Structure 1
Amino acid sequence: MGQLVAAIFLLQVTSSWAAIFLLNNNATAIVRTDRIRRVHDVRDVLLDAYYDGGREELAHVIERDRGNAADPLVFVALAGHGPAVMSNLAEVPPVAPGGPYRVHLRHLPAGPGIDGIAEATDLADGSRLIVGAWAITERRYTLAFAEALGLTLALSVLMALLSATVLGYIISRRTHAIAETAEALAAGDFAARIGSKYSGDGFDHVRSRVNLMAERIDRLVRQLRSVAGELAHDLQSPVSRLTAAIDTAVASTSEPRVLAALQGARADAESLETMLANALELSRLESGTIADRRELLDLAAVAGDLAELYEPLAEQSGVTLATELEPVRTHADRELLSRAIANLVDNALKYGGDRIVIATRQVGGRAEITVSDNGPGIADGDRARAIRRFARLDNARTRPGAGLGLAMVAAVAELQEGALILAGEAGLEATLSLPATPGY
């Protein structure tokens, strides 16, 4: 955006300078033409006097005009065949016949040189008539124009900078709204839309197209979630019947090889049943069809109860389970919150190292519970993918699971107006951040 503002600024300044430059050239040409015209007018009058009365009449006219100061910007010299006659000159200029020529002469005997133009005409008696004009008017105009030019350029720069900044702000605001909506859509907020009054310009056309695209994406995602939930619901009964049939088969045989195969099949059926239940629960969470059962909770108490529940399992797995609990209150659904924390602990037991820490704290206006481990963690580039449904990272493909644990935690957090944050360099720090309720 800075480059656009700079380009607009330079374009406006350049166009202003070009217009002023052309104006100056035209005005200077007009002044120069007028000066030459005045020289020609004086020359014609003097030549008429010469033709009427000869050199004496010409000298008389020059002396007369010098005394009357008819035109102080015009100088005249008559040289040859007698004493020189001059008006507004300190010396006879060495000007060749023809012209006009640029000259640099003295107006007064002891004065500085002044620029001007002059042309010479040889007369019939061998005299030379020199008529010219000082460039005083042009110099004054040039100085005045330079002052006006400086002021005009300063105002032009100021106006160009102001207009470029305003235009850049308008463009930045419109594009920023589009970018924010695109970021929200990329983050999974499919209800995000670009709000703007109808203006009929190109930005409004882009706004309508982006909003239409977001509407279609939102509809497709809702349909996919609905299909996933309905599919999980419809498959629960067949899987339950499959589990019951396997149990019946186990009870009717004593063959070790058959029993081993049936027990493996039952374990797979139980995993499938759990996955379907989780998928159905996730669909309900994402669709928001679960009743609002939020209540005032002590996050430390909820986390402490879960730590006690998981401590025997952690000891059995050779994992040290520690707690760092600070009292902090929040409004949340106890059952959903407990399930989300349990998923984080399960995830740490599966993929973490030999130490898990459950911590609660208040950071600003947020109540946070963090489950951290010293395992391999999740790379920065994989963290966004890890919270998607059915996401299975490379280090998890050899272990049981459906890739729904972190997705369910993220769905619970969103339903409770919170967020799931994955961080950590040595291991994984999974933080469930919720709005804190004052009270401690």
Structure 2
Amino acid sequence: MPWLNRPSRRLSPTMLWLVAAVFVLQLMSSAAAIFFLRGQMVDVVRADRVRQVLDVRDDLLATYQRGGRAALAQVITGQQGSAADPTVFIALTGGATPLFSNVVTVPAVPVAPRPEPVMVHLGHGIADIESMAIARRMPDGEQLVVGVMGATESRFNLAFATAGGLTIVVAVALALASALLLGVEISRRTHAIAQTAEALGAGNFGARLPERRSGDGFDHLRLQMNRMAERIDALVSELGAVSVSLAHDLRSPVARLSAAIDTALERVDDPGAIDALQAARENADGLHRMLETALEITRLEGGAVPDRRVAIDLAQVMQDMSELYEPLAEMSGVLLQTRLATAVVIADRELLSRAIANLIDNALKYGAREVLLTTREAATYAEIAVSDDGPGIPPDQRTRAVERFVRLDNARTLPGGGLGLAMVSVVARLHGGTLTLTDGVGPTHRGLQAIIRLPR
């Protein structure tokens, strides 16, 4: 079965941006709510002060109507009734004897139907106080000024800032916590979907996502992915069954054809006929090998091969393959070299050996004079590489070269079925690795380098 690398569980940059956006939006909404509440409270306090000013003014006007200026003066100087509130200030000016209550100087208040904000001076060394006041012209020509001290937004803002500071700290903590929880939950769900998609991409068409029937977008996505996987599984199963059946059905005719050719070889003496039958036998053998390879690839991709993975040293495997192919390389006039470093992985030795054999066969087949076998390891992966100095494969055709039954122009005159690199690619994927084709490693970068990279 494939050895798949699990994706990292940490938040991705996109998810971090989402968390930051949620955090900022929640913080802005909390700030907006706080400022809205502050505005509402300021309006309530201001309305209460305005109503208090109007009530005191109406009381004083009623007193004036009942008893005239003398009664009004008695209320102001005696601070009686509503005028007894220490926050209330009153001034009656414009006559022979000005009257003041809780104020030293008369604030400049325009005559208006509604109270206006003013600054009240209480004495030397005392800061002026914001107030609400209203002025009224009396029938005798004097001006009555009535106000209430303390209707100040600055004091209210200071008190509100103290309470709002703690509120903002709590809001920031809650916004950050909720944003992180949301990000982690979304990341967890998307990683689960991505893992299933990765399993499907690796050939495990039985992978499914749990369906919760919650009705949200993630559940809909899970449902559609499961339906897609079921459809792909059915199609691949049908295709695999047809391919396997076809390959099995063809093996018997090919075997009978080979037997018939052998019989004919025993009965003919004509050299020309013998050569023709020998060529036919070689083609029949090639067809038989191609059918066997196609069946093997189908079995590998279908998971029919048992899990035989153990810890192996790739250097030792490559050394064994080098010794196996060294006589053939000498007969072909090819210099077979090795540059091996210890690289331990968990792998199926038999499958890897077959993949390496295919790569060496290709290197010997396509005109190489030097073949280099290398192994190396890095922090998270190990590599097997087979390099040659042959004609190589153009970069724009390397993707097609690993597809099944694809034979490039420079290979059509040579024996083969176009399944060698496809077999290597399947073996690499089964181990959670990859097959990469690059330029050769010589000084001129001539030839081809096939690299199998496996996770450690």
Q: Which has the higher contact order (CA 8 A, sep 6+)?
A: 2
Residue deviations 1:38-72, cap 9 Å, x none?
11221122222222322222112111118998222
Residue deviations 1:281-340, cap 9 Å, x none?
333444454577889987656544542342343234442111245678888777655433
Q: Does 1:429 align with 2:445?
A: no
Q: 1:207 to 1:375 in 2, by over 3 A?
A: farther
Q: Contact 2:59 / 2:82 at 8 angstroms: preserved in 1?
A: no
Report which stretch shifted further, 207-216 or 170-179: 207-216
Alpha-carbon distance in structure 1 between the residues aligned to 2:248 and 2:309: 26
Structure 1 residue identity aligned to 2:174:
M
Which of 295, 308, 320 is matched with 1:280 structurally?
Answer: 295
Per the alignment, residue 66 of structure 2 pairs with: 52
Per the alignment, residue 173 of structure 2 pairs with: 158
Per the alignment, residue 207 of structure 2 pairs with: 192
Report which stretch shifted further, 283-292 or 24-33: 283-292
Residue correspondence of structure 1 range 168-179 to structure 2 within 5 A: 168-179=183-194
Q: 1:152 to 1:338 in 2, by over 3 A?
A: closer
> Displacement of 1:241 after TM fit?
3.1
Q: 1:289 to 1:166 in 2, by over 3 A?
A: closer
Alpha-carbon distance in structure 2 between the residues aligned to 1:235 and 1:264: 20
Per the alignment, residue 196 of structure 2 pairs with: 181
Which of 75, 83, 99 is matched with 2:89 structurally?
Answer: 75
> Displacement of 1:87 after TM fit?
1.1
Structure 2 residue identity aligned to 1:236:
R
Report which stretch shifted further, 244-253 or 398-407: 244-253
Alpha-carbon distance in structure 1 between the residues aligned to 2:135 and 2:120: 15
SS in 1 for 2:84: coil
| 5+ residue gaps, structure 2 | 1-14, 441-447
SS in 1 for 2:148: strand
Q: TM-score, normalised by structure 1?
A: 0.82
Q: Does 1:206 align with 2:221?
A: yes
Per the alignment, residue 30 of structure 1 pairs with: 44
Q: 1:346 to 1:5 in 2, by over 3 A?
A: same
Which of 146, 155, 159 is matched with 1:144 structurally?
Answer: 159
Q: Does 1:347 align with 2:368?
A: no
Per the alignment, residue 41 of structure 1 pairs with: 55
Q: 1:413 to 1:94 in 2, by over 3 A?
A: closer
Alpha-carbon distance in structure 1 between the residues aligned to 2:279 and 2:145: 124
Structure 2 residue identity aligned to 1:278:
T
Structure 1 residue identity aligned to 2:450:
E
Q: 1:174 to 1:374 in 2, by over 3 A?
A: farther
SS in 2 for 1:121: strand
> Displacement of 1:175 after TM fit?
0.8
Residue correspondence of structure 1 range 279-318 to structure 2 within 5 A: 279-289=294-304, 303-318=318-333
Q: Contact 2:91 / 2:146 at 8 angstroms: preserved in 1?
A: yes
Per the alignment, residue 117 of structure 1 pairs with: 132
> Displacement of 1:170 after TM fit?
0.5
Residue deviations 1:114-152, cap 9 Å, x none?
322222222222221111122445443222122223332
Q: Contact 2:385 / 2:449 at 8 angstroms: preserved in 1?
A: no
Residue correspondence of structure 1 range 102-113 to structure 2 within 5 A: 102-113=117-128
> Displacement of 1:232 after TM fit?
1.4
Q: Contact 1:73 / 1:136 at 8 angstroms: preserved in 2?
A: no
Report which stretch shifted further, 179-188 or 166-175: 179-188
Q: Does 1:408 align with 2:429?
A: no
Q: Does 1:232 align with 2:247?
A: yes
Alpha-carbon distance in structure 2 between the residues aligned to 1:131 and 1:221: 92
> Displacement of 1:173 after TM fit?
1.2
Q: Contact 1:388 / 1:406 at 8 angstroms: preserved in 2?
A: yes
Q: 1:378 to 1:212 in 2, by over 3 A?
A: farther
Alpha-carbon distance in structure 1 between the residues aligned to 2:167 and 2:291: 76
| 5+ residue gaps, structure 1 | 436-440
Residue deviations 1:2-49, cap 9 Å, x none?
333233223322322232232222211111111111112211222222
SS in 2 for 1:98: coil
> Displacement of 1:78 after TM fit?
0.5
SS in 1 for 2:32: helix
Q: Contact 2:18 / 2:183 at 8 angstroms: preserved in 1?
A: yes
Alpha-carbon distance in structure 2 between the residues aligned to 1:407 and 1:336: 13
Q: Contact 1:246 / 1:266 at 8 angstroms: preserved in 2?
A: yes
Q: Does 1:216 align with 2:231?
A: yes
Q: Does 1:95 align with 2:116?
A: no
Structure 2 residue identity aligned to 1:144:
A
Structure 2 residue identity aligned to 1:20:
I
Q: 1:123 to 1:423 in 2, by over 3 A?
A: same
Alpha-carbon distance in structure 2 between the residues aligned to 1:19 and 1:434: 53
Q: State the Cα RMSD in Å.
A: 3.8
Structure 2 residue identity aligned to 1:430:
I
Which of 62, 65, 79 is matched with 2:76 structurally?
Answer: 62
Alpha-carbon distance in structure 1 between the residues aligned to 2:308 and 2:141: 121
Q: 1:154 to 1:396 in 2, by over 3 A?
A: farther
Which of 15, 20, 37 is matched with 1:6 structurally?
Answer: 20
Q: Percent identical across equivalent pairs?
A: 52
Q: 1:413 to 1:128 in 2, by over 3 A?
A: closer
Alpha-carbon distance in structure 2 between the residues aligned to 1:13 and 1:365: 41
> Displacement of 1:85 after TM fit?
0.7
Structure 1 residue identity aligned to 2:155:
R
> Displacement of 1:167 after TM fit?
0.5
Per the alignment, residue 405 of structure 2 pairs with: 390
Alpha-carbon distance in structure 1 between the residues aligned to 2:141 and 2:310: 121
Alpha-carbon distance in structure 2 between the residues aligned to 1:397 and 1:357: 25
Q: Contact 1:294 / 1:332 at 8 angstroms: preserved in 2?
A: yes
